[in-house]
Amino acid sequence: MSWHLEPLVGFDLETTGTEPLEARIVSAAIVTVRGADVVGRRDWLADPGIRIPAQASAVHGISTERAAAEGRPAPAVADEIADCLTGHWRRGVPVVAYNAAFDLTLLAAELQRYELPSLSDRLDGAAPGPVIDPYTIDRSVDRYRSGKRTLEAVCAEYGVVLEAAHDAGADALAAARVAVAIAERHPRVARLGPAELHDRQIQWYAEWAADFQQFLRKKGTADAVIDGSWPLRELAPARG
């Protein structure tokens, strides 16, 4: 049976910024789906320990004051998210994250920041996975489609309802449903096993990064460097 007909886990973070090595978790959701049904869900609200910039609050609607009053300590939240994700991976359930290189890198940076076990540590040294990233897959299988590749735009392309963009739970659920919709439209994606699809995405992401870096340099950005690592960027060494 194809992976898109089996349980999937949607994952999303809302954060303090757009740089995954520096931003902090504000909210998170992990939503388990099977077909059209939601069969499990966990949500977190964190106190990131720093002020949430106004532009970030304008996106996800969570203020510094609310996070401080209602959120749980950031280390506890990061630890629980990591345990939840790795628990699913141990059971062989793919984790779906839209633009996984952002969310998983940010989570990994938070674990390092708080001196918590890494995702790999929790998997006895294995690399995290399988990961399914609709952003990376869609960009490869429909490379020349015009328009944006935001989650909202891709939901519209595949007929997936996104009820509240930039709510972690809504985005996690939409990511999982978009992954299913892509598999239904593109049988060659559906035919791949989760592990093989994971490996293909490593290749597809690296190819995209190299092409985009070349494009930027042709446009005059001579020093442009686009990280081609997926689903995790390399972290800076921990400060000792």
Question: Alpha-carbon distance 200 to 221, whole Å?
Answer: 29
Q: Which domains does the chain have, with CATH numbers?
A: 3-218 (3.30.420.10)
Question: Over the stretch 174-194, which tens digit does the pLDDT of each residue have?
Answer: 999 999 999 999 999 999 999
Question: Alpha-carbon distance 53 to 175, whole Å?
Answer: 25
Question: Alpha-carbon distance 232 to 179, whole Å?
Answer: 19
Mean residue pLDDT of the chain comes to 95
Would you say 32 and 9 are in contact if contact means Cβ atoms under 8 Å apart?
A: yes
Q: 198-235 burial, b if ≥16 CB within 10 A, otherwise e?
A: beebbebbeebbeeebeeeeeeeeeeeeeebebbbbee
Give first-to-last CA distance, the chain, whole Å.
Answer: 48
Question: Alpha-carbon distance 140 to 144, whole Å?
Answer: 9
Question: Over the stretch 148-178, which tens digit does the pLDDT of each residue have?
Answer: 999 999 999 999 999 888 999 999 999 999 9
Residue 140 in this model has a pLDDT that exceeds 80? yes
Does pTM surpass 0.85?
yes
Q: Which residue has the tokens 């345990």?
A: 83
The confidence band for 119, taking pLDDT boundaries of 50, 70 and 90, is very high
Picking from 136, 171, 149, the residue whose alpha carbon sits closest to that of residue 15 is 171
Residue 22 confidence (pLDDT): 96
Of all residues in the chain, what percent carry a pLDDT higher than 90? Answer: 88
- Give me 229's structure tokens: 């690592």
